[in-house]
């Protein structure tokens, strides 16, 4: 199946590591031109150097209100268009609901909801012109609540609703908007949680990984590239009739409809 992404201009946030980096690598493999966004300029530059496609790097903090417009401005200045926006950046604090402070909530929402919303808004006129698409990376916690993931779960649910709302508008404007819900995916963030469990229970990494996977009732954790391939499909014209789709890529973790 041809994804027809060659020469398309894609903005990928959270591209310095984990799922965002894997998305950048898969899109580059399809021949897309990339706008790589995250906080770490060094990591983004290193990634850009390793990719065999035209890229620009925009290092910024997406919690800042003017960052999204700057990212889109850089993309248009360099490439003259935006065809794809993939919102990956997100970091929400886990923990006991009674211990989480207002500042933790504000911080989680500032990046994952407001950052993504502002990018959608800034990129929209360009996506309308190119008949492009958006893929929002949410998370299975948006469908299924859990006690120690109140910030992440609610922000993911909000992002899923925004996906549906913009997909509704996109019918009129010719912009496709879809979401991917990753399940537990072995990035640095999850690796740190597995390492913490391993040291807490005095077991090795592989046993801790197995224990966590069993608790989630999945056979194993996902690889970032497995999420990225689903993103590339939804972003591409090959998914031309996918509008407002919420795709769980979670190894079967979500058992509800």
Q: Which residues bind ligand NAD (CB under 6 A)?
A: 14-20, 38-40, 61-63, 88-91, 111-112, 137, 139, 182, 184-185, 187-190
**DSSP alpha helices (H): ranges in the chain?**
18-29, 41-50, 67-79, 102-109, 116-130, 150-173, 188-201, 205-216, 224-235
Q: Which residues contact 154 (CB under 8 A, 6 or more apart)?
A: none
Least distance to ligand NAD, CB of residue 23, Å: 9
Give me Rg for the CA atoms of the chain.
18
* Per-residue buried b or exposed e for 107-119, using 16+ beta carbons within 10 Å of the residue's own CB: bbbbbbbbbbbbb
Compute how many other C-beta atoms are within 10 angstroms of the C-beta atom of residue 97: 10
Least distance to ligand NAD, CB of residue 180, Å: 9
Give whichever of 135 and 166 is closer to ligand NAD, judged by the CB atom: 135
Least distance to ligand NAD, CB of residue 56, Å: 15
Q: Which of 254, 192, 249, 193 is nearest to 222 (CA)?
A: 249
Give whichever of 3 and 179 is closer to ligand NAD, judged by the CB atom: 179
Least distance to ligand NAD, CB of residue 175, Å: 21
Give whichever of 111 and 134 is closer to ligand NAD, judged by the CB atom: 111
Whether 149 contacts 140, CB under 8 Å? no
Least distance to ligand NAD, CB of residue 181, Å: 7
Rounded Cα gap, residues 49 and 82, in angstroms: 21
Give whichever of 111 and 167 is closer to ligand NAD, judged by the CB atom: 111
Give whichever of 104 and 173 is closer to ligand NAD, judged by the CB atom: 104
């Amino acid at each position: 199946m041809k994804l027809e992404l060659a020469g398309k201009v894609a903005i990928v946030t959270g591209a310095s590591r984990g799922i965002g980096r894997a998305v950048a690598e898969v899109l580059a493999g399809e021949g897309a031109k990339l706008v790589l966004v995250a906080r770490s300029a060094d990591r983004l530059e290193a990634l850009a150097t390793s990719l065999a496609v035209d890229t620009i790097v925009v290092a910024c903090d997406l919690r800042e209100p003017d960052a999204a417009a700057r990212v889109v401005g850089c993309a248009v200045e360099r490439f003259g268009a935006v065809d794809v926006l993939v919102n990956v950046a997100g970091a929400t604090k886990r923990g006991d609901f009674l211990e989480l402070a207002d500042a933790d909530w504000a911080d989680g929402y500032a990046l994952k909801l407001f950052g993504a919303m502002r990018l959608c808004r800034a990129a929209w006129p360009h996506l309308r012109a190119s008949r492009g698409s958006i893929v929002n990376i949410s998370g299975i916690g948006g469908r299924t609540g859990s006690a120690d993931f109140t910030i992440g779960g609610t922000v993911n649910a909000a992002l899923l609703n925004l996906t549906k709302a913009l997909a509704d508008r996109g019918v009129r404007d010719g912009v496709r908007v879809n979401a991917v819900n990753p399940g537990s995916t072995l990035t640095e963030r999850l690796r740190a949680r597995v390492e913490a469990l391993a040291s807490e229970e005095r077991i090795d990494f592989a046993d801790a990984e197995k224990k966590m996977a069993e608790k989630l009732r999945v056979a194993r954790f996902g690889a970032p590239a497995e999420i990225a391939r689903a993103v590339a499909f939804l972003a591409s014209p090959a998914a031309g009739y996918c509008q407002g789709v919420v795709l769980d890529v979670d190894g079967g973790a979500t058992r509800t409809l």
